[in-house]
Every structure is written in C-alpha cells, then in structure tokens.
Amino acid sequence: MSKAALVTLDFEEAVAQIDIQIGLMEAKSDAEIFADELRTLRQARESLLTKTYANLTPWQTVRVARHPQRPQTLDYVRMICRDWSELHGDRRFGDDAALITGFARIGSLKCLLVGHHKGRSTEERIKCRFGCANPEGYRKALLKMKLAEKFHVPIVTLIDTPGAYPGLDSEQRGQAEAIAVNLREMSRLRTPIVCIVIGEGGSGGALGIGVGDRIAMLQHSWYSVISPEGCAAILWKKANEQTNNSAAQALALTAECNLKNGLIDAIIPEPNGGAHRDPQATAERLQGWVVDSIRELQRLSPDTLVRLRFDKIRNIGSHKSNPAS
C-alpha cells in the first residue's frame, strides 16, 4: 500500500507532514544529493510514529482498529492461507456475507477459518452490513465448526465486528438465540479453537465466534461489552469526541487492559504505526501465533481440551476476597 494512498488519522498529522517532505525530496531528479537529509527525516518519522502509537488513548485505539485500510479476514486469507475453500450457507435460511467460513492451510496446519468481514467498497460494506452478522451467519459458523470437529480439524476465528446486526429481521430470525447457542456449543467442541480480535470486538457479535482455548488480540484492536459510542449514548445521552473518549477509557477495551483483566491470553504486536501500514508483517505475526498455539493444543486429548476450556470460561471475572478486610 503506497503512502500516498494511506488514510491519515488526525493524531498522525505530524507524521503525515514528514511523509510529504520525504516524498518531495525523493521526487527530485537529484535526490541522491539529499541522502543525508532523507536519512534524518526517515529516522525522525519512525521515532515520531513509535512515540505516537506508544501513547494512544483508548479512543484513538478504537479509531486505529476501524482504519479503512486495516487488514480484514479475506486479506488474511490471501496472505497466510493456502488451499482456501470457502463454505456457504446455514442450511436454514441463507448465506451471510458478514461471516466468512472455509477450510484452509495456515503454515503446515489444516484448519477451519471463521471470520467477520466488513467489506472494502461501499457496495460490499452494505452487503456485509459493516461486519455485523445476522443469525444465519452465526448458524453458518457453528455448522462449519461442527464439521471441523467431526474431522478433528482445529478452528481459527478472526473477530472484527462492532456487534451483531440489530435489525428487526435479525431479531425475528433469532439473533440472541443463535449467539447463545454458539456460546454453548463452542464451549463443548472437541477440537482446538483459537480466536484473534483483529480489529473490533464488540459485544455478543464478537462472542458469537469468540469462545476458544486461546484468545489473542492484535495490539491496536479493541474488545468490550459495547462500543464507546453505545456506552456514551446510554450514560450521557449523546456521543461526541468527549463522551466517546470517556467511555472508551471506562470500558477498559484495549488489548493491554483485556490482558491485565484476564480476558485474553496474548497480545500480537503490530508493525510500527499499526497493521494498516504493513499488512504482510502483521499477517506473518498472526500466523506464527496461530501455528504455535494450535500445535500446543493438539498435544491435549479432546477430554482435557474441553475441561480446560470450561475451567477457563468459569474463571473469567473471578476474584479472591481479602481475608484481612
């Protein structure tokens, strides 16, 4: 992805200005004369980018997770999957473009890949409802996961949704029931499951494919019970920059907060400046974590796998009281 095509967020303006200077100098016919200046500018740019992304606020993290050029599920399919064979339909109502399922090879491993897809073009985004799945999407995902269990194939889920689609038709077709059934059945599947939040991890829409033996987040993704805007609208009856920032802070939705609170097992680091600046490097890091995690889980028997997964779920949110209090 060329720098000229990169969408710039407002807190990246200083970096964008250096990019412009570098571009102008590189475009000169005698650019080699400015080699030292170019080297200095590139070093300054990398240093500023590192400093900016090391000090993101939670609301800025949400905005990075929503970057229009951030890699999505089908981008990772192209970058790390071989022998991709997409599977469609829930055998009850229809297919859902917001949830992608298919068999593939990641590294040397055969697996089932399940992931949200938001779309790139306006037409595709409308078709995918910006990654908000209908109940048939969750039923499709579960149907394919049970197929993977039957053939002892591990499952990889890529989570990237602001939440399940809240439309009237979705509710009439059993949105809440579909997600609830997925939570129950995924906890029982006798095959390894690894889940990665690659962008947004919002509410039940994320949890519908988010029950696993290992759960990770990309460094600049978010994972929470509700979006900052939704939280702000409930608490303060309005959603703006100030209330969104306050809500994002209170929700503890960053990867660091989720790891600290015991909701995830690992953080996958992103390249300097976020996944949208180097999708390939991000994909390679994601692949490495997936392969290592699945190989570790494949050493366990199905009975042990299910028991440990159940214990993991039951321990979420647990705490020990202080005897002295």
- Quick: pLDDT tens for 62-80: 999 999 999 999 999 999 9
Whole-number average pLDDT of the chain? 92
Q: Is the separation of the CB atoms in 137 and 93 below 8 Å? A: no
One-letter amino acid for residue 258 of the chain: N
Sign of CA dihedral 169, 170, 175, 178: positive
> What token pair was written down for 55?
């000090």
pLDDT band at 30 (very low <50, low <70, confident <90, very high): low
Tell me the per-residue pLDDT of 69-127, one tens digit each, with 9 for 90 and over.
999 999 999 999 999 999 999 999 999 999 999 999 999 999 999 999 999 999 999 99
Question: At 85, is the secondary structure helix, strand, or coil?
Answer: strand
Half-sphere exposure of 210 (CA within 13 A, CB side): 29
Distance of CA 197 to the CA centre of its chain: 3
What's the confidence (pLDDT) of residue 221? 97
Binned at pLDDT 50, 70 and 90, residue 3 comes out as: very low
What's the pLDDT score for residue 27? 72
Which pLDDT band, with edges at 50, 70 and 90, does 37 fall under? confident
The stretches of 55-115 forming alpha helices (DSSP H) are 58-65, 73-80
Q: What is the pTM of this model?
A: 0.91
- Provide the 10 A C-beta neighbour count for residue 206: 25
Cα–Cα distance, 266 to 111 (Å, whole number): 20
Environment class of 124 (CB within 10 Å of its CB; exposed 0-12, middle 13-18, buried 19+): middle
Q: How many CB atoms lie within 10 A of CB 5?
A: 7
Write the pLDDT tens digit of every residue in 277-297: 999 999 999 999 999 999 999
The CATH code of domain 62-314 reads: 3.90.226.10
pLDDT > 70 in the chain, percent: 94
Rounded to whole angstroms, the Cα distance separating 112 from 278 reads 25
